[in-house]
Amino acid sequence: MPETREYVSSAAEHGSVSISEDVLAVLAASAAAETEGVHSLYPSYGRDIAELLNKKALNRSIKIAINGNDLTVGVYFLV
């Protein structure tokens, strides 16, 4: 059964932009990995950025919730 993906969309005069929750999760993971004091994203140790971007690992480390115009990002990490 295919997963249902949500998108954050913004319409403007010259077009619109839609960003999938997968892309938002990758951006949140990248930002967390670059933050001083963050050892790694939960639940593994010593991952490099290629492993960090693995969707299966992100499902445990980053939680995205989209509700209309509201976006909530949960990041689970080790300090």
pTM of the model: 0.65
Each residue's pLDDT tens digit, 1-48 = 445 667 777 788 888 888 888 888 888 888 888 889 888 787 644 455
Which of 6 and 50 is assigned the larger pLDDT? 6
DSSP state of 35: S
- Is 53 a residue whose pLDDT tops 70? no
Given CA atoms 44, 50, 53, 56 in this order, what sign does their dihedral have? negative
Q: Where are the alpha helices (DSSP H) in 1-70?
A: 21-33, 49-52, 55-61
Residues 61 and 75: beta-carbon distance below 8 Å: yes
Banded model confidence at residue 50, pLDDT cuts 50, 70, 90: low
